[in-house]
Structure 1
């Protein structure tokens, strides 16, 4: 599998009576077996804002945020999600669960390179982002 690109963005209200402006969307495009597929993750922006407040050092010196890599993180944590088109994270616990075991700083720093190259190998990205579990 090849990762082509990823990005995240804040949704904007299309109509005055909707709540879209409270959500972030993250997407990742992957090429596998000559087929291109885009996977989307939608979640409440508050989850990211709260995480960012609790972990300010992770984001120091970077204008990127979790929304830029959340879709990538979700499929790294559960490749079966690639069989779906989208995922909605509706609890903060679920949001945080996907972040466990991921080198978030490496993920955030990887996005510009990934979008520039558009040919990053899946196995290399997983190896860079998965943090090893230490057993004693």
Structure 2
């Protein structure tokens, strides 16, 4: 029986730089950093409040096909890959804190029916959403919500 999600992978351009970004800028903690053969590095970070969920920082590489590696690299260059959704207790304060650290935001904090949301990019261009959640009902989204 599946009990939870324990690992998510995020494609990054440079593992060392991303490890630094996720730990020094976002406040994650380094977990594993192992070289598993000449072409594969296993590097994970965890959030201190959710250590059971590992974020695997990986580059598009083997065993993926050359075509798929190239496709991921094109998507990275265009800033078109999704990253993580991060819950925050105060979206506006987190926006200010991360902006001061040089994080690129593509949407400032805005009110949504489900809370306050901002969109940022990690240092590899992945979209990341920050959400300060609040209670909501389907009616909060208008008449066409399902």
Do Structure 1 and Structure 2 share a fold, with TM-score over 0.5? no
Q: Which has the larger radius of gyration?
A: 2
Which has the larger share of helix?
1
Normalising by structure 1, report the TM-score: 0.26
Which has the larger share of strand?
2
